[in-house]
Amino acid sequence: MELAIHNIKGKDTGRKAKLSNNIFAVEPNDHAIYLDVKQYLANNRKGLHKSKERAEIKGSTRKIKKQKGTGTARAGSIKNPLFRGGGRVFGPRPRSYDQKVNKKVKKLARKSALSYKAKNKAIMIIEDFDFSKPKTKNYFSILKAFELDGKKTLMVLNEGNKNVYLSSRNLKNSKVVINSELNTYEITGASNLLISESAVDGLESNLK
């Protein structure tokens, strides 16, 4: 598979980027995508929810009424869960929601997501660029050149670039990542992918 390489003004440079069919043209596996996205969302959960049980409630431990003769159920503490302000029975406790997905399944999921984007012509290759200083206007002009302003886009770079990252940070629907950070959730969530020319080889080496 070959895609045209564009400059930051959206013009075709006349050069082509060769994309591996083993990554960008595989038979998509929807279940692998589902498992990988589910793991990503689950692993992002903090799991810090907590409620107090009767041993953790602040209050008197005095027996509030005699054991027998009241005609009602016996009660030994004001912290009893049956009373207002008492502890909660079997309340939530801090826990980990982390899930495990095999590496091969995760790679297949990313390949499947990239293949869907390639099939829908939602991948664009852009020649390597840099900004002299962080400026949102410069990054927005790139999106406008590709007619992607207002759309959810994902820029994939070969290595970290502080100026490019900071320039995109104020744009709600834009995100910049390096090829090693690319995940299935962000690929499927973006309407279009902008991949830098140098990031293609790095992406293919990560997913081979």
One-letter amino acid identity for 119?
K
pLDDT of 147-187, one tens digit each? 998 899 999 999 888 999 999 999 989 999 998 889 999 99
The H or E element that residue 16 is part of is strand 12-18
Residue 163, class by beta-carbon neighbours within 10 Å (0-12 exposed, 13-18 middle, 19+ buried)?
middle
Q: Which of 32, 78, 79, 35 is nearest to 53 (CA)?
A: 79
Instruction: Please report, for residues 14, 41, 87, 111, 119, the alpha-carbon distance to residue 17 in angstroms, rounded to integers and kept in the order given.
Output: 10, 33, 64, 18, 16
Domain extent listing, the chain: 2-44+101-207, 46-96
pLDDT of 129-149, one tens digit each? 999 999 999 999 999 999 998
**2-44+101-207 topology per CATH:** Ribosomal Protein L4; Chain: A; (3.40.1370)
pTM of the predicted protein model: 0.82
pLDDT of residue 149: 85
Report the 10 Å Cβ neighbour count for 207: 19
User: Cβ distance 127 to 6 under 8 Å?
Assistant: yes
